[in-house]
Structure 1
């Protein structure tokens, strides 16, 4: 498994190869996403980075997130009416979403890779990706509900 610094270096190289300028703000947003394990919103990223970039706007963060989504670095996750969350995705994985607090936890379930192949064989589609989300209450919200 690649280290986060190797993922960052590889991502920057891909941006350069696509003739995308590596501005300090763009680098910071990308680095934040790679380091983050919380599936942040654009506003959360902005709040975290604004101290280091006082002239940066939420629109700058959002535009960079849209660029990263377009080139396949980032997955935009929309759940109901809440703000979109963003996930730097270098491997296929799935999400468990807490319906109470909105926490999103990654998980991998290898049998779903086999399911994808089975569906491809069954319907003849060339499957390029799939998405799975499960919903419930995270351990913290379960504890709070019990008290």
Structure 2
């Protein structure tokens, strides 16, 4: 999505279009690192020295409400954010807490099986795998 599209969506939903909001979303769209609020703030504070941490929190809240980012709870005491809102699993490193997408996997069969076994009508899913990333595996892996 380009900045003009985000501007249109924000305006249509009654939110102000600000350079900070555009930059926060742009940063999320351009990375696969699944940053936390602090990581987002630290990556943009030099370009926006008057931007507060509260601005990042408020913007992320708006982007979540608009279904433009998803919140990931990867078990490290804070959330991570992903601008890829299509259903997809993530893999998380126990040691360095790196978070990666697991692309090109179809979980339709699993969702259908869960529907059948549970008698639920599944509407969404989040799937996390945990292990050691390529840089951490082989090192001392005691968590």
TM norm. shorter chain > 0.5: yes
Gap runs ≥5 in structure 1: 1-5
User: Higher relative contact order by CA 8 Å / sep ≥ 6: 1 or 2?
Assistant: 2
Offset at residue 90 of structure 1 (A): 3.2
- Which residue in 1 is equivalent to 2:67? 72
Over residues 74-132 of structure 1, what are the superposed CA-to-partner deviations in whole Å (9 max), with x where a residue is unaligned?
1111233432111112321110000000000101321x112212333444433210110
Equivalent runs, 1:7-46 vs 2, <5 Å = 9-46=4-41
Task: Note the residue ranges of structure 2 that are not aligned, 5 or more in a row.
Answer: none
Contact kept? 1:97, 1:136, Cα under 8 Å: yes
Which protein is richer in helix relative to its size? Answer: 1
Query: Is 1:125 matched up with 2:120?
Result: yes
Q: CA 1:22–1:82 in 2, change beyond 3 Å: closer, same or farther?
A: same
Please say if residues 20 and 48 of structure 2, whose CA atoms lie closer than 8 Å, have aligned partners that are also in contact: yes
**Pair 1:107 & 2:102 matched:** yes
Q: CA 1:24–1:132 in 2, change beyond 3 Å: closer, same or farther?
A: same
SS at match of 1:55: coil
The 1:11–1:119 alpha-carbon spacing in structure 2 relative to 1, beyond 3 Å, is farther
Q: How many aligned residue pairs are there?
A: 140
